[in-house]
Structure 1
Amino acid sequence: MTPIDPESNTRLRLLEAAVFCFAEHGFDGTGIREIAQRAKANSALVQYHFGGKTGLYAAALTHIFTIRPLPFEVVPSSPDEPNARERAIHAFHQLVESLLREMLACGEGGDFDRAAHQLINRELQSPRPDMVELLRGHIQPLVDQITRCMRALRPDLDDEEAFLSVNSLFGQITHFHINLPMIRMMTGDPAWPRDVQALVRHIVQFSLRGLAVPEALPGARP
């Protein structure tokens, strides 16, 4: 993620400043004046461009999702499509890899990267009621993609089983995201994981075996 040029237009400067301020202090702890000062802009422009602090907060979240898009893979829409199982396993692998690399990159980039991750994590852990639909709109397509992969491989899953399986996958990836410093401490390797593909394969195999997918039996590789 590339920080916005300080000389770019005022609206973009306000967005970047908002990401930093909201990440540091949260919505309630951040004032419009503080954001405007950081952006070197007139505070009245927050109302002009965004309609107020809530609009700016929503725009800041959208800005992060826009410049850091969620992965998209071609996923079978039905288990009856030609080569649906092979395509589903391939897409599942690619989605896991994209998400894991994104999570592991948290904190490895510049200040804006870290602030963006911090703000998204803050909002996901304690969503503001007026931001729920915005978050769902950005996250639901990814959830739907993973669910379609699982249904192509296990068409017998009911809605609750599919929902729990998707959340189990996210739980694995989130663990490596949140607890990376602890994992590196336990391994004694400050650069762990050195082989991201091996970690991706483990998560994919573990998940598919949990779903009793025959292709994930010992010796098989997605």
Structure 2
Amino acid sequence: MTEINTADSARGRLLHAALGLFAHQGFAKTSTREIAESAGTNLAAIKYYFGDKAGLYRAVFFELQSKPEEEIRRYGGEALSLRDALRGLYLGFLEPLKQGELTTLCMKLHMREMLEPTGLWSEEIEQGIRPMHEALVRVLCRHVGVTQPDEHITRLAVCVAALGVHLHVGRDVTDALAPALNNAPDAFDRWLDALVMYAEAMVAAEVQRRATG
């Protein structure tokens, strides 16, 4: 997750204002005039920095998240132990949560894009989610001891990733049911240790399943 510098940057203020408006109202119901007024700029600034509303929406959707190759470097190295690979994977989910409202708005924007698609969600799947999933599948193949993935490895990859995804999509539910899990001073460190432990157990279960047929 990339922080937005709004101090002296008209472009940063536009990104910040657009993120909030797009997340709450969607692309179609948000006007460039609203965005410019919220950012304290004029319409010409949107045209200068982004071309048009679609260009601004695209920048908000993609620029505020880490690049897939950066995330894959955290966990995809062939020399990494399973534990280190899993720690790298889950750090990619946990570090954005420390940014509070920014991450919440980005999640709302992504959920809205899924419900009111403009075409960017399919691009996100192909250029972002798919390569990260395939990298995780390769990691699991190495540590389960198979050369080619099958449906069990693919299912395992989905489940391992889901532990991290739920921290984002289910944040409000977790806060309602057990607020201390996210609000304690060392909450993210505890989550990291727990997620790695749970994922290691899932991998061990798959290894055992294969060993016993």
Give the alignment's TM-score, normalised by structure 1.
0.71
Cα distance change, pair 183–66 in 1 and its aligned pair in 2 (3 A): closer
| Kept in 2: contact 1:72–1:142 (CA 8 A) | no
Superposed CA offset, 1:143-179 (max 9, x none): 2321110121232553544332221222232234333
Cα distance change, pair 132–181 in 1 and its aligned pair in 2 (3 A): closer
What residue number does 1:170 align with?
161
**Superposed displacement of residue 125, structure 1:** 6.2
* Between structures 1 and 2, the one with greater helix share: 2
**Superposed displacement of residue 208, structure 1:** 0.7
Q: In the aligned structure 1, how far is the partner of 2:93 from the partner of 2:4?
A: 22
- What is the letter of the counterpart of residue 169 of structure 1? V
**Superposed displacement of residue 30, structure 1:** 1.1
Q: In the aligned structure 2, how far is the partner of 1:125 from the partner of 1:95?
A: 30
Alignment gaps of 5+ in structure 1:
78-83, 215-222
Identity %: 21
Higher mean Cα deviation, 48-57 or 137-146?
A: 137-146
Whether 1:153 and 2:143 are equivalent positions in the alignment is yes
Superposed CA offset, 1:45-73 (max 9, x none): 32333222111111112221259963623
Whether 1:57 and 2:48 are equivalent positions in the alignment is no
Give the alignment's TM-score, normalised by structure 2.
0.74
Whether 1:101 and 2:94 are equivalent positions in the alignment is yes
SS at match of 2:122: helix
Figure out how many residues of one structure are paired with residues of the other and give that number. Answer: 202
Q: In the aligned structure 2, how far is the partner of 1:185 from the partner of 1:130?
A: 31
| Kept in 2: contact 1:19–1:119 (CA 8 A) | yes
**Superposed displacement of residue 120, structure 1:** 3.2
- What is the letter of the counterpart of residue 52 of structure 2? G
- What is the letter of the counterpart of residue 199 of structure 1? A
| Kept in 1: contact 2:72–2:135 (CA 8 A) | no
**Superposed displacement of residue 141, structure 1:** 3.4
**Superposed displacement of residue 89, structure 1:** 0.7
- What is the letter of the counterpart of residue 178 of structure 1? V
Q: In the aligned structure 1, how far is the partner of 2:100 from the partner of 2:174?
A: 22
What residue number does 2:201 align with?
206
**Superposed displacement of residue 88, structure 1:** 4.7
Higher mean Cα deviation, 28-37 or 198-207?
A: 198-207
| Kept in 2: contact 1:76–1:148 (CA 8 A) | no
RMSD, aligned α-carbons:
3.3
Superposed CA offset, 1:198-219 (max 9, x none): 41233222321342269xxxxx
| Kept in 2: contact 1:75–1:149 (CA 8 A) | yes
What residue number does 1:218 align with?
none
Cα distance change, pair 189–51 in 1 and its aligned pair in 2 (3 A): closer
- What is the letter of the counterpart of residue 32 of structure 2? I
**Superposed displacement of residue 74, structure 1:** 5.7
**Superposed displacement of residue 35, structure 1:** 0.8
Moved over 6 A (4+): none
Superposed CA offset, 1:77-127 (max 9, x none): 6xxxxxx6xx35144322343144246x2xx53543432332234335664
